[in-house]
Amino acid sequence: MTTLKDLAKMIDHSLLHPTMTDAEILKGCEIARKYDVATVCVKPYAVQMAKEALTGSSVGVCAVIGFPHGNSTTQIKVAETEQAIRDGATEIDMVINIGKALGGDWDFVRADIEAVNRACVENGAILKVIFETDYLKDEHIIKLCQICSELKVAFVKTSTGYGFVKQPSGDYNYQGATEHVLKLMRQHSAPEVQLKAAGGVRTLDQLLKVRELGCTRSGATATETMLEEARARGF
């Protein structure tokens, strides 16, 4: 039976909006501590601050790398990763080079992921690879799952939450962790590669659904709302 703790430890509490102040990030760390989630997911400059704020808790610190568009050079992604780990991050969420994937330059994409994964493994951290699935076709997602499986990365992840696609109306929106994408990623990733849903998981029912689809982690900003509802429903 799924418990409240099981659900809390699925959550990376996301503190990534570009307008977030340090005070808001620290408030988010307090929410993460209160509910004993898996990690807080923060921008690289905030890793040390979050680490200090969470001292004495079992909540880890996750840093995003090449975020949100994945276009830094591989060397910069590696340097950013190593710095984040020095500052206290134990998990790294890295965005692939999306244009290279769309262009079919799979050697580049593989080398980019491999270099960051090596920096993680050598420094005792784990890597989650963000695909930004709204920009990709099924064939790209499948190929990325195969590459990540071959490289034995810890997690594949759907989205940044900021991969906005221009709609026919001219508005920008994104779908994020859809059922179709999650099923595709779970089907084409090795069993030992875990799956993180990100983008659009805002209710308890959505969290339970992605769990059912094989996700062991989910990014969330609505952590408090979801877990209070879980408590009220007897989890």
Cβ burial, residue 18 (10 Å; 0-12/13-18/19+): exposed
Across 196-216, average pLDDT: 96
Amino acid type, 136: L
Q: Are 44 and 84 in contact (CB under 8 A)?
A: yes
Domains of the chain as residue ranges with CATH: 4-232 (3.20.20.70)
Q: What is the mean pLDDT of residues 145-174?
A: 92
- Return mean pLDDT, the chain: 96
> What is the residue type of 174?
Y
Encode pLDDT of 93-148 as tens digits. 999 999 999 999 999 999 999 999 999 999 999 999 999 999 999 999 999 999 99
Say what the pTM is: 0.96
**Residues belonging to the active site:** 93, 157, 196
Q: What percent of the chain has pLDDT over 70?
A: 100
CA–CA gap between residue 108 and residue 111 (Å, rounded): 5
